[in-house]
Amino acid sequence: MKFPTKEATRDKFVATVVKTFVNESNSILSSQFRFSKPISNFYTDSTFIEIDSLTRIPLSQEDYAWERNRTQLTLTKKVDLNVLFLSDTSTAESKKTKSPGPPKKGPALILTKGSIVSIEMDTAQSFNLPISYIKKESTAAIEINVQTKEDFIVQVSTRSGTIVDERKNQKIFVFENLPPDTYQVRMIIDINKNGRWDPGDFRTKTEPEPII
């Protein structure tokens, strides 16, 4: 008996961006990417901040951090706000004329096509992400006071589940400079003291670490 052959189809590779902004309070540029497959190659020399057609700020490996088995990438970089948001005197002058030119284009985070490659050799599309500016008066803070004798991790995340910040075994602290969003706070009891949440193991009958 002969069975018909069927070619296996690969899952579609999807790359999404959560947010891209710079915070006036600390001059930190933040952006986060999520991928439907783990990433095997990431070429930082193909990523940069574009101020205008002549000015670029290069990015390096030190500006990025991987999470969740290389399916989530976070960019965190200290920037000079005076360089990032150059005052455009030409725009002010153009307003005095009867035929003003197009509005000044703001800074953008650029990742060229081919800079991100999955473990199945999928190539992510190019990204041209406008950088929004979060003013200091628009940010918030969350004060935390923990009372426990166990090792623990406190995380603050957005409504979509993106972890914004975390603290390990600090009982009194403040999550500062949070941009406008809906946040939730959770505490992980780090039973095995490895600094991360463990989902448990059916084979060893190990329970998941408690989340409060």
Instruction: With residue 21 as reference, give the H or E element that holds it.
Output: strand 15-23
Cα distances (angstroms) measured from residue 10 to each of 3, 119, 122: 22, 12, 10
User: What is residue 90's predicted lDDT score, i.e. its pLDDT?
Assistant: 43
Structure confidence by residue, pLDDT tens digits, 175-185: 888 888 899 99
Structure confidence by residue, pLDDT tens digits, 104-127: 678 999 999 999 999 999 999 999
Cα distances (angstroms) measured from residue 149 to each of 130, 146, 169, 197: 45, 10, 10, 17
Beta bridge partner(s), residue 31: 20, 75
The parts of the chain modelled with pLDDT lower than 70 are: 1-8, 87-104
CA distance 56 to 146: 44
